[in-house]
Amino acid sequence: MYKVAVIGLRMGANWALAAKELPNTELVMIYDKFYEENNLIIKDRITGPGITVAKQEEEIYKSDADIVVVASPDNFHREQSVKALEAGKHVICEKPLALNLDDCRAIIAAVKKSGKQFMTGQVCRYAPGFRTAKALVDAGRIGRLVYIESEYAHDYEYAKGFHEWRKDPALKRQGFLGGGCHALDLTRWIAGDPTEVFCYMNHIFMPDWPTPDTGVAVAKFPNDVIGRVFVSIGVKRPYTMRTVIYGTEGTIICDNRSNHIQISEKMLMGPTGAMAFNDIAVEIASHNVTSELKDFVTALENNKPCDTDVYQGTRTVAFADAAIRSAQSGKPEKIDYNY
């Protein structure tokens, strides 16, 4: 039985619920700096016998928890992850891993020194639609990969975070990393690590926010694959992560908010050359943290790194970093995998 403690109880609430639900985990402690004043925290569902509501963050590190989940705002990820590792805890850190590559390198160093397991919470890899799409690509159902595109389109007008931390001018959170890491990581997972990216950004939807709200990046992936990532935190539409994967033998369209994915395959082409999309039913579970925690515990039990380890989290930050640098420089930028 692995004892779990959670820091940050808006994103972390689902992790707490997962720790209560799984048969081989036990939720023992929760902490949120604004626990008393934040009425959006689902306190009735994440408290109970045997669960301590910590008054100070340090109680988490001094606890007997085996696993600490860091689900606080992005700017706390480095400090809290390093403290938990130094306290001898295994760590799960929500995406994005950190605000920049220097912070990622500090977390990597702490992981190495501690010898503990680490997971980056790249939850799109656990969405049933995306998992099915990845399995179809890996099985060769659409032939050789040629082009991939993904988008993170999410209106943040009413998602500023508690005390509006997402638009804090001192923090200067980059939406292309903070939310866009979902789409960036998804394309990396399917197509491999990109080598170069060119990006344009603008700042029209939300001019009172401190950084650009919309961007589009074109990247070079291994094996001559090319791709595009669109990120906007100001779009006026329902949230979507629509992703399209083109191969030499077919095409897949998927979205984490849809109960099906679509596939069109050359081998099913009609005698006139007509093609159609066929639906494959999938469960809607866009924030499937229960499966994430289950995988992490399995990795611990087998003493093997999890699939979304600290390096995977860092590579996604590196992709975003290069895109942001390109938007600023006006030229293609190489992606830094030196860590």
Contact 60, 84 (CB under 8 A): yes
Domain with CATH 3.30.360.10 in the chain: 125-288+317-334
With H, G, I as helix, E, B as strand and everything else as coil, classify residue 254.
Answer: strand
Q: What is the mean pLDDT of residues 121-138?
A: 96
Q: What is the mean pLDDT of residues 226-244?
A: 97
Q: What is the mean pLDDT of residues 42-68?
A: 97
In sequence order, the β-bridge partners of residue 260 are: 281
With H, G, I as helix, E, B as strand and everything else as coil, classify residue 251.
Answer: strand
Torsions phi, psi for 312 (to 5 deg):
-65, -45
- Topology of the domain covering 2-121: Rossmann fold (3.40.50)
- Topology of the domain covering 125-288+317-334: Dihydrodipicolinate Reductase; domain 2 (3.30.360)
pLDDT, position 205: 98
The DSSP output letter for 75 is: G
Q: How far apart are CA 105 and CA 108, in angstroms?
A: 5
Q: How far apart are CA 188 and CA 193, in angstroms?
A: 5
DSSP string, 264-312: EEGGG--TTS----EEEE----TT-HHHHHHHHHHHHHHT---TT-HHH
With H, G, I as helix, E, B as strand and everything else as coil, classify residue 205.
Answer: coil
Contact 108, 237 (CB under 8 A): no
Q: What is the mean pLDDT of residues 175-193?
A: 98
pLDDT, position 83: 98
On the question of pLDDT at 63 being above 80, the answer is yes
Q: What is the mean pLDDT of residues 298-315?
A: 96
Domain with CATH 3.40.50.720 in the chain: 2-121
- Whether the link from the prior residue into 96 is cis, omega within 30° of 0, is yes
Model-level pTM?
0.96
Q: What is the mean pLDDT of residues 167-196?
A: 97
* Radius of gyration, CA atoms only, the chain: 20
Q: How far apart are CA 114 and CA 39, in angstroms?
A: 36
| Strands (E) located in the chain | 2-7, 25-31, 52-53, 67-70, 90-94, 118-121, 145-153, 196-202, 214-220, 226-232, 243-247, 250-254, 260-265, 278-281, 333-334
pLDDT, position 64: 97
On the question of pLDDT at 261 being above 90, the answer is yes
pLDDT, position 286: 66
pLDDT, position 169: 94
**Lowest mean per-residue pLDDT among 23-32, 140-149, 283-292:** 283-292
Q: Give the chain's end-to-end CA distance (angstroms, integer).
A: 34
Contact 74, 165 (CB under 8 A): no
On the question of pLDDT at 274 being above 90, the answer is no
CB atoms within 10 A of CB 172: 12
pLDDT digits (tens, 9 = 90+) for 14-45: 999 999 999 999 999 999 999 999 999 999 99
On the question of pLDDT at 213 being above 90, the answer is yes
On the question of pLDDT at 119 being above 90, the answer is yes
pLDDT, position 339: 87
Q: How far apart are CA 15 and CA 22, in angstroms?
A: 11
Strand order in the sheet with 250-254: 278-281, 260-265, 250-254, 243-247, 145-153, 226-232, 214-220, 196-202, 333-334
On the question of pLDDT at 57 being above 90, the answer is yes
Q: What is the mean pLDDT of residues 46-56?
A: 97
pLDDT, position 60: 98
